[in-house]
Copies of this chain bind each other. A is one copy, B any other.
Amino acid sequence: MKTKIKLDANLTPYPMPMVLVGAKVRGKPNFLAVAWFTKVNYDPAMIGVALGQGHHTNEGILENKCFSVNIPSTEQIIPADYCGIVTGNKKNKSGVFETFDGELGAPLIVDCPVSIECKLVQKVELPGDLFFIGRVKAIYSEERYLTDGKLDLQKTKPFLYTSPDKGYWSIGSRVGKAYSDGKKFSGRPKKAG
């Protein structure tokens, strides 16, 4: 067997898309830069976001029972990163982005190519984080981000976050086709002597 080494268990050893989780806190839109989130249910569509306890945004999610997940493009790295540096507890972030209200009242970012409004359905308490599970109410985008009626990654230009190097990365090129490439599998290659 190849020589395996153990890395720090607190490492996040893969890239994740960077998003801005939004909620109104005492009436004012607030956004937090987050890379710990995922879809958790297909139908109805649900998204979970893990937020450290004590974040200003948490208060707004619990108060209004809704939140937004906004997917910035590489053009918005500076304001997006700003929302990861500055806490809403100390600084009013309501002016960082132009926003519009979703049907549930969550603040959505006009300039983000994609914004998702979620209704809070469950809160999972973990030792240091709260994992908020929301049912997707609507996904907003614009015609200019579509190609043949479908959302086009090369137009929305999301970016990824990696640690511990604290890097932001673009999406590269298409390297395969899911539910298709696997058909070529014909057994594990035999190892040379």
Contact = CB atoms under 8 A, between A and B. Distances in A.
A39 B160 CA distance: 15
A12 B40 contact: no
Contacts of A167: 153, 174, 176-178
Contact of A171 (B160, B179, B181): B160
Given A139-B9, A185-B82, A153 B169 contact: yes
A25 interface: no
Given A5-B140, A114-B13, A41 B127 contact: yes
Contacts of A96: 185, 188
A173 to B, nearest CB: 6
B169 A171 contact: yes
Q: How many copies does the complex hold?
A: 2
Nearest to A42: B128
Contacts of A179: 81, 84-85, 166
A41 B50 contact: yes
A193 interface: no
A152 to B, nearest CB: 9
Contacts of A30: none
Interface string A14-45: 11111100000000000001001111111111
B153 A181 contact: no
Interface of A: 1-19, 33, 36-46, 48, 50, 52, 71, 74, 77-86, 95-98, 100, 110, 114, 116, 122, 124, 126-129, 131, 133, 136-143, 150-151, 153, 156, 158-185, 187-188
